[in-house]
Structure 1
Amino acid sequence: MKAIVLKEYGIPAVLQEQEVNIPAITETQVLVEMFAASINPADYVLRSGAVKDILPVQLPYILGADLAGVVTKIGNKVTLVKPGDRIMGIPVNNGGAYADFVAVEENALAAIGPTLSIQEAAALPTVGLTAWQALYKYGKLQSGQRILIHAGAGGVGHIAVQLAKQAGAYVIATAREYNHDFVRQLGADEVIDYAINDFTQTISSPVDVVLDMVMDKSTAVLDPTIGETGQKSFSVLKDGGKFLSLVAMAINEYPKIRGIEAQFVHAEPNHDDLVSILQYVQEQKLKVHLGGIYPFTSQGLTEAYQKCEINPKRGKVIIQRKQG
């Protein structure tokens, strides 16, 4: 089968097409024919080599942390889906979607209905789970609370804004001016242009929760410490509030400041959460925005990564192999 693999770290053009074996599946896994996949920040961070000392992978490596497609084979303990079902999910070991066929654990997938496009389904798993678990599992967001969501137009951010609003929260988001109308349409009550304004001076009263996914230029990618944006975020949090970070991996070890609970968020594949996310989509409480669709070729993937690595960002970028 064809896969697009990372043979060496570097710029997007290092990704190359290669013939590889179809993956074998275990009794709890399914084999999925990939129709579409998406790009997440972790993919281009891994590709660049910026975290090779923290999160090493064995090269050649197939990137791609989520996908949508059709089940072709199931393990003998799989009960949730059958061959022919359209599904979305996260590949085994959270990587490997850029291939004709992909192995997925049963607990890391959900069947998708006929009304959801295969492209939208491919965009949802990672950002959907990250936002869902950050707000509801880690943040325990309640109606009436105030939340600050950084990068509100991005992949996780634009999902988190919608979910926070559905929870009844007062939502403040940061985004470049280009994306302000987009973020307001998602449900944000206030939008702050982080490029020209200091959000600490703009927010009128403290917030209960901060969701931070900003990789500051002044800090390393996935730096274990709190970056500049994170540090400033503490100043707008209430005593006893929650600071949720997608980038500061060691933040849980920090001593508490004013009783603030700091938590590194790492989304875990979970079938029930994926089903809940799809239910929100079906009920039109949640919509994923597609920021671009590119073909499943090495050139298409290179262009998709280049699109993802420029500002301003909006939603998710998709790799499409097949209509479905």
Structure 2
Amino acid sequence: MASMKAVRIHFFGGPEVLRVEDVPVPEPKAGEILLRVQAASVNPVDYKIRSGKYPLLKAEDLPVTMGRDVAGTVERLGEGVSGFRVGEALYAMLGRDRGGYAQYVILKPEEAAAKPETLNATEAGAVPLAALTAWQGLFDHGGLKQGQRVLIHGAGGGVGHLAVQFARAKGAWVAATASSQDVKFVKELGADQVIDHKAQKFEDAVEPVDLVYDLISGETEDRSWAVLKEGGILVSTLHEPDKDKAAAYKARGARYMAQPDAGQLAEIAKLIDGGLVRVQVQKVFPLAQAAEAQRVAEEEHTQGKIVLDTA
């Protein structure tokens, strides 16, 4: 049986628990796609999983392969798969039952879409989870529409930098908070107003908005209620917003987890290929250095995404 390299964890802990191991190349069953992975991105959920802080993964579920999104080419199609061809370049967000820090991975058709033509594999690998998180937070949960106003916290990161561009592409007015080293970058992404969160209080600078998209939480969330219009909504990727505060400000709160969605990835690819959205990749590591890649993502300031080259 053919083998491949995969990065797995057998127990929870720091980056040192990541192991590069030889495991069998998976066989695509009926309705599945075998992808030869060229790039996989490093996301905050990865180090939450690794450290045991992800509630849906228990110690008895280990070992698991890390990683939630990938870009690569179709190696083989399972019986009954249509609409894809061998050699086609795809990008995808994986379900929680599989990991992308590997040389091959099984995809389900509803998770994958054609890679944006204007991106190379490394850039495409940076997109799926961050882009779907931003897209679903803004539009599915936040209901953001053309002409509305949104405040995005953490706009310089992987999810945030895409959220700014998606909101602008859909015709919203965008305010954003960022660290001082990211202010220029976020302005270049098209934000209408950018606040250095250490130099100025955003609640003193931003006029009321329809949506607060919060990637920071904590006291940032607590202060955000004051900038929401009556009937507005605060959407968080991190925890359930305070229902009492929402009621006090006559607003709403929502927390969500991003889900794979091939249709949304196809729409995102059109925006990228149309020049309306660009992807920022800060660093690329080889698969063998996945532990260092996670350490950098967790401990250092990053602008945009960190990607693993799995080829």
TM superposition score normalised by structure 1: 0.89
Aligned-residue offset at 1:22: 2.0
Q: Report the Cα distance in structure 1 between the residues aligned to 2:227 and 2:7, rounded to whole angstroms.
A: 44
SS class of match (2:90) = strand
Give the total of aligned pairs: 307
User: 1:236 — aligned with what?
Assistant: 227
Q: Report the Cα distance in structure 1 between the residues aligned to 2:236 and 2:47, rounded to whole angstroms.
A: 19
One-letter amino acid of the structure 1 residue matched with residue 210 of structure 2? D
One-letter amino acid of the structure 2 residue matched with residue 158 of structure 1? H
Greater Cα offset, 312-321 or 92-101: 92-101
Aligned-residue offset at 1:202: 2.6
One-letter amino acid of the structure 2 residue matched with residue 243 of structure 1? L
Where in structure 2 are there 5+ consecutive unaligned residues? none
One-letter amino acid of the structure 1 residue matched with residue 306 of structure 2? V
2:212 is aligned, of 205, 210, 213, to 210
1:124 is aligned, of 123, 127, 144, to 127
Aligned-residue offset at 1:158: 0.1
Q: Report the Cα distance in structure 2 between the residues aligned to 1:11 and 1:100, rounded to whole angstroms.
A: 23
Aligned-residue offset at 1:75: 2.1
User: 1:305 — aligned with what?
Assistant: 294
User: 1:224 — aligned with what?
Assistant: none
TM superposition score normalised by structure 2: 0.92
Greater Cα offset, 109-118 or 254-263: 254-263
One-letter amino acid of the structure 1 residue matched with residue 151 of structure 2? L
Whether 1:24 aligns to 2:27 is yes
Q: How does 1:1-324 map to 2 (within 5 A)?
A: 1-51=4-54, 53=55, 55-56=57-58, 58-93=61-96, 95-203=98-206, 205-215=207-217, 227-249=218-240, 256-297=247-288, 300-322=289-311
C-alpha offsets along residues 108-158 of structure 1, whole Å, 9 cap, x if unaligned?
001125432001110111111111121122222122221110000001100
Q: Is the 8 A contact 2:116 2:272 kept in 1?
A: no
Q: Report the Cα distance in structure 1 between the residues aligned to 2:250 and 2:164, rounded to whole angstroms.
A: 25
Q: Report the Cα distance in structure 2 between the residues aligned to 1:102 and 1:176, rounded to whole angstroms.
A: 36
Q: 1:99 to 1:65 in 2, by over 3 A?
A: same
SS class of match (2:235) = strand
Aligned-residue offset at 1:295: 0.7
Q: 1:28 to 1:260 in 2, by over 3 A?
A: farther
Q: 1:20 to 1:243 in 2, by over 3 A?
A: same
Q: Report the Cα distance in structure 1 between the residues aligned to 2:219 and 2:39, rounded to whole angstroms.
A: 36
Q: Is the 8 A contact 2:246 2:252 kept in 1?
A: no
Q: Report the Cα distance in structure 1 between the residues aligned to 2:192 and 2:93, rounded to whole angstroms.
A: 32
RMSD: 1.9
